[in-house]
A and B are shown apart, each in its own frame.
Chain A
């Protein structure tokens, strides 16, 4: 009876529930039909974006460090144990520079070769960076900055786990390390600056976090929070928060049994494992904005967006004009942030796993020349078992980690057939040798980037003075700033071909205190103690720096610009036990390879570089002032050279000025050898001066003593061919001189298109050479050549005689000393001049010109004779001599019987000449 009623009660509840469910279902169906009642809320159900490709990954059980199911143990998930069932997770973790970050390459301080005396590796674990400032101490001493545990807590958020978050420097599991305050690997610094023991067994370690890169929406914030809290063991589990697999209640993580099927495997909808997307990479590497519809905004300047803060690189298909950033002239910037992202090329398409059989390509150096493609490769199953997590990389200026993988990345030319798209570009090959593609295709950065860190001072927040380039005002988040963008500086960067083309960079300059010998950066803790008492400045610091005495140190006052200030702070640091504290400065280059553009947005205008104000040598500001007057040194790793000058301006700012000439680079239209130009101008003006003097004297003397009447006769002096040759040569040489001048000084002739003028110059040169060759043949074949050949005997006397005529006789109206006849058109002076002109100057000009023209076709030949830096100025010098010759030549044509006689003869062929009695007859 009792049971029955209970039963019927249950049935009744079930019935009610059933009715409810049906009603809900009906209302849902009805809702579909009468959507119009809901107004626009359900508008356009058809146009929802297509769903992402579903994950192919099968359901998996999540296992803990002991290999037990997390549902059973309640312990954190072990990525290695979980994934190791199908993939060789240990292989993956041990073959990944993202995981290793320098652990396996740790050296004694100062041996990394980048110039810093305290770096112990080339990776995040061991390489100090003024941007993050904190220093991984090699061992425990009284100024220990970061222990291993502190490093993980602070910098581990940009580390995928494994490596130094799991293993000691000797390769031991950190959990096996007994807590010890005197062991740098088993200790931590507490709030009071004291070393205390760190229990790895309690904190746990961080295995390489597969979820961070392979889930569509990993919870990186929760992961970072766990890491900062020292809750390392749960960091990877925290990454799953929000997926429904695990929930957080208070400080506890509770696995959700609903997410697993009866075999303990995750239901398909909880398995989102996929190839890494740009957003996955962007969690550590920089700002990634995928959705083209939502306007992008800058979200402050945190180091997580590493490439964005160091260079301004942003990966987004969005057009800049449509972003939400307050960019100067934004409406006109109709290009996307990154053409590759716009065209759906993903990070992993270029930075692919090096044994991915789809992408893998043997490097050119090791590939036999007869082989385009080697089809023998690992199959997909093998790849999925052991996907190498060493990724193709370039050779970035700061990323010195895993140098053996440098330039495994596809280059631009691996995908792009640049020749076909650059047929408009004169000297395309030459340009491509001298310039990296990025130099023209990343002409400008439209987001701000870091310019300077001044760690010699601290703000009351404990942060350094920071300056950004490409932005005006607006504070740290740039919310109200005007973003102006900046032009990257071009620095030579060796590529895998052994060349060092110019490529775009940002330069980040830093100043900071170092102490001791060998030197080390002053720990942030001590620096803050030297400046601050809690969150206010020490009185004597305030007194020294508060120039306007208003009780506050304003940003512009916060700089060490006098010896007094320097001594004060140094003294305070010394008081903290830091020996010999002194200011050091460094310049870090950051290369820029992303945010590529194309077409009209790439640099196409020749005069961008081929002009006085050339892009190639345009200086870039490093800092508005120089803390402590210390000139910063260059910190690189051999992949970028700083070959220009660091220059201090009058108002105390610091600039870097590239030097184009330093790299065997001669930018036509920009570079000049000034003494050659000056000498050329002097010779040219001297000639004009001489001609005017001589002409004036002739005019004056002709009035004083009228010319003697000579016996004249009219002879057929020049054949039609000779005249044609002459005037063609005249026109071509004049045009060559003029176009050459435009190419040499494009700024003075802004009306002309540099590129067209260059092409016209080349065509003219070809005509000149052809004309000269034909004339040479004509002179040889007709025997006219002997007119140019002086008779050896008495030649110098004859020259002297002719010279005396020009210096004296001509003023007295004397006869020309040598009769001009069709057989002897040239007087001895002309003979020697033309001999020089035609045998020396013209061939030299043709050869240097041809070599400059051929600098891209036969670069070796040009290089052997000194390359453009020698050839181009030489060509210029000869051009000046030619110009001077033309002046002299034209003037001397007026020294005939009448001023116009010679010119007329060259036009008409017939000339009135003086008759001379034939000598010896």
Chain B
């Protein structure tokens, strides 16, 4: 006859439900479409302490590698499949070219120190291996893989010529310190590309070992490591730069973590198909340390006062710039590439890696670039760029003799040399993608859309400032008509 003893409990639950459900369904928080970028970050288990696993002592770098391979059997083999080892891409197809070509530091040139062929001992200090000192280097010798350069954390490991450990390095200490690669490991080479701090990229330099947040918001404000974004599997590290990797593979995108339309302002979201995130969020390159913008090799060899940022006898004259305003070009992730032996027009500027894409390319966006402009040696008889020998015996840096350097370099790179050299202008494009500024410092409308704006709209293919003259689709539409 009586209700259950617990009828009140049921009643209480129903009452709470009647109140709580409408409240939660009606009262809404502010919409947040920023997603959860943290969800995309790799989670890492703490690294195993190797102190007791790597007792040492080790005579050579190869000794360490052999010790590593006792447990990590596949590691060296995996490494040998990567470009960090081969310095050469798989065969790729370039626009306007029938044969496949491979591209990499191994066989192509840039407009900084130009090329490694003949100069191996100097250049391969940054090779993740041991002993690459000639064209005969055996890429199948897994024991020559340098595990330490990426994994050691002692900070006491230094590589010398041909990538061998420098004299006096305690390999056991280094081996015991191994862990997941940090900024110190990656930066050791990548922050010093081009032969010194900040020379090459314009968005990678030693200020990023321990950056403040206004240098790089990811690393500065949130203490990112390189490998947080450059996700790595089987030693294949994500990411690419169009200096050596021109087909857009392994691309890392902001959208790997961030939502495509995360801005609260629709007007800004409307830019996303046309403007790379980097364009607004990297308002300037080389935030702290000046980077090399121009390099005139033809001035080398003079006995005049030297300054590493202005003139060196062995290298010529430079222009360095800090906080430079990027140049802006359409870019679809791919690039053309100058291949050693390609004819040039010595009176014109030769681009070594032209970014691909234009206003009509739906995959292209406007990107910020550092453009490095150089005057470098070419064969005045055959009209192609030369790869001079600079390092070592007979190299320009010791002999200051271009004729000899050209001859030896041509020999090392397997090219014919006419006996006559000249100076040609070249340029190289470096898409800026690091040194992302905090959002407070991103570009504003008037930085581009005003009389003093930084975009050359007509050069980009617009009729004028798209704010007034119509956006990309309107411009293309008009062009097609």
A residues in contact (CB < 8 Å) with B: 33-37, 39-40, 43-44, 46-47, 49-50, 52-53, 277, 290-292, 317, 319, 321, 334, 336, 341-344, 424, 599, 720, 723-724, 727-728, 731-732, 735, 756, 759-760, 762-764, 766-767, 907-910
- B446/A341 in contact, CB under 8 A: yes
**Pairs of residues from A and B, 8 with the lowest C-beta to C-beta distance, nearest first:** A36-B296, A334-B440, A317-B446, A907-B8, A759-B27, A343-B445, A36-B317, A40-B319
A664 CA to B375 CA in the complex, in Å? 76
- B11/A724 in contact, CB under 8 A: yes
- A767/B19 in contact, CB under 8 A: yes
Whether A908 touches B7, Cβ cut-off 8 Å, given contacts A37-B299, A728-B15, is yes
Question: Contacts A37-B299, A907-B7, A910-B3 given; 19 further ones with Cβ under 8 A?
Answer: A40-B320, A47-B454, A50-B455, A50-B456, A53-B451, A290-B452, A292-B446, A317-B446, A341-B446, A343-B444, A344-B446, A344-B467, A599-B264, A723-B11, A756-B27, A763-B27, A767-B18, A907-B8, A909-B7
Residues of A within 8 A of B299 (CB): 36-37
B478: interface (CB < 8 Å): no
A766 CA to B265 CA in the complex, in Å? 34
Residues of A within 8 A of B26 (CB): 759, 762-763
Residues of B within 8 A of A277 (CB): 451
B169: interface (CB < 8 Å): no
| Residue of chain B at shortest CB distance from A725 | B15
A52 CA to B453 CA in the complex, in Å? 10
B404: interface (CB < 8 Å): no
Residues of B within 8 A of A907 (CB): 7-8, 11
Binary interface encoding of chain B residues 431-470 relative to chain A, with 1 for a CB under 8 A from any of its CBs, else 0: 0000000001100111101111111111000001001000
Which residues, 237 to 296 on B, are CB-close (under 8 Å) to A?
A: 264-265, 267, 293-296
A–B Cβ pairs within 8 angstroms, 25 of them: A33-B425, A34-B375, A35-B294, A36-B294, A36-B317, A37-B296, A37-B299, A40-B321, A50-B456, A50-B457, A291-B452, A317-B450, A334-B440, A720-B3, A720-B7, A720-B11, A727-B15, A735-B19, A766-B22, A907-B8, A908-B2, A908-B3, A908-B8, A909-B2, A910-B3
- B316/A36 in contact, CB under 8 A: yes
A909 CA to B265 CA in the complex, in Å? 57
- A724/B440 in contact, CB under 8 A: no
Instruction: Tell me, rounded to whole Å, the shortest Cβ–Cβ distance linking A425 to chain B.
Output: 10
- A727/B12 in contact, CB under 8 A: yes
B156: interface (CB < 8 Å): no
| Residue of chain A at shortest CB distance from B438 | A334
A34 CA to B374 CA in the complex, in Å? 10
A277 CA to B450 CA in the complex, in Å? 11
- B264/A292 in contact, CB under 8 A: no
Residues of B within 8 A of A732 (CB): 19
Q: Is the interface of B mostly helix, strand, loop or mixed?
A: mixed
- B18/A53 in contact, CB under 8 A: no
| Residue of chain B at shortest CB distance from A424 | B30
B334: interface (CB < 8 Å): no
Binary interface encoding of chain B residues 308-329 relative to chain A, with 1 for a CB under 8 A from any of its CBs, else 0: 0010000011111100110100
B101: interface (CB < 8 Å): no
Instruction: Tell me, rounded to whole Å, the shortest Cβ–Cβ distance linking A600 to chain B.
Output: 9
- A763/B23 in contact, CB under 8 A: yes
A359 CA to B189 CA in the complex, in Å? 58
A732 CA to B17 CA in the complex, in Å? 12
- A336/B11 in contact, CB under 8 A: no
Whether A760 touches B317, Cβ cut-off 8 Å, given contacts A53-B451, A342-B446, A344-B467, is no
Residues of B within 8 A of A334 (CB): 440-441
Residues of B within 8 A of A292 (CB): 444, 446-447, 452
- B14/A763 in contact, CB under 8 A: no
| Residue of chain B at shortest CB distance from A766 | B22
A107 CA to B7 CA in the complex, in Å? 86
Instruction: Tell me, rounded to whole Å, the shortest Cβ–Cβ distance linking B326 to chain A.
Output: 8
- A724/B444 in contact, CB under 8 A: no
- B445/A317 in contact, CB under 8 A: yes
B residues in contact (CB < 8 Å) with A: 2-3, 5, 7-8, 11-12, 14-16, 18-19, 22-23, 26-27, 30-31, 264-265, 267, 293-296, 298-299, 310, 316-321, 324-325, 327, 371, 375, 425, 440-441, 444-447, 449-458, 464, 467
Residues of B within 8 A of A720 (CB): 3, 7, 11
Residues of B within 8 A of A343 (CB): 267, 444-446
A37 CA to B446 CA in the complex, in Å? 35
- A46/B327 in contact, CB under 8 A: yes
A334 CA to B375 CA in the complex, in Å? 42
Whether A760 touches B27, Cβ cut-off 8 Å, given contacts A50-B457, A728-B15, is yes
A53 CA to B465 CA in the complex, in Å? 10
Residues of B within 8 A of A756 (CB): 27
| Residue of chain B at shortest CB distance from A316 | B446
- A342/B445 in contact, CB under 8 A: yes
Residues of A within 8 A of B317 (CB): 36-37, 39
A290 CA to B451 CA in the complex, in Å? 9
A763 CA to B26 CA in the complex, in Å? 7
- B452/A36 in contact, CB under 8 A: no
| Residue of chain A at shortest CB distance from B444 | A342
A36 CA to B300 CA in the complex, in Å? 11
A723 CA to B10 CA in the complex, in Å? 12
Residues of A within 8 A of B296 (CB): 34, 36-37
Residues of A within 8 A of B265 (CB): 599
Whether A724 touches B15, Cβ cut-off 8 Å, given contacts A44-B293, A53-B464, A291-B452, is yes
- A47/B325 in contact, CB under 8 A: yes
B318, B371, B446, B453: the one contacting A49 at CB < 8 Å is B453
A756 CA to B24 CA in the complex, in Å? 11
Whether A39 touches B264, Cβ cut-off 8 Å, given contacts A47-B327, A53-B451, A760-B23, is no
Residues of B within 8 A of A37 (CB): 296, 299, 317
Instruction: Tell me, rounded to whole Å, the shortest Cβ–Cβ distance linking B371 to chain A.
Output: 8
A853 CA to B327 CA in the complex, in Å? 55
Instruction: Tell me, rounded to whole Å, the shortest Cβ–Cβ distance linking A449 to chain B.
Output: 25
Most buried by B among A290, A334, A766, A908: A908
Instruction: Tell me, rounded to whole Å, the shortest Cβ–Cβ distance linking B163 to chain A.
Output: 32
Instruction: Tell me, rounded to whole Å, the shortest Cβ–Cβ distance linking A777 to chain B.
Output: 17
Residues of A within 8 A of B2 (CB): 908-910
A319 CA to B439 CA in the complex, in Å? 13
- A728/B19 in contact, CB under 8 A: yes
Most buried by A among B5, B293, B327, B451: B451
Instruction: Tell me, rounded to whole Å, the shortest Cβ–Cβ distance linking B443 to chain A.
Output: 9
Instruction: Tell me, rounded to whole Å, the shortest Cβ–Cβ distance linking A49 to chain B.
Output: 6
| Residue of chain B at shortest CB distance from A332 | B440
Residues of B within 8 A of A34 (CB): 296, 298, 375
Instruction: Tell me, rounded to whole Å, the shortest Cβ–Cβ distance linking B373 to chain A.
Output: 9
A574 CA to B7 CA in the complex, in Å? 95
Residues of A within 8 A of B31 (CB): 424
Whether A39 touches B3, Cβ cut-off 8 Å, given contacts A342-B445, A759-B27, A763-B22, is no
- A36/B23 in contact, CB under 8 A: no
- B456/A764 in contact, CB under 8 A: no
Residues of B within 8 A of A321 (CB): 440
Residues of B within 8 A of A33 (CB): 375, 425
A39 CA to B290 CA in the complex, in Å? 14
Residues of A within 8 A of B447 (CB): 292
A343 CA to B450 CA in the complex, in Å? 9
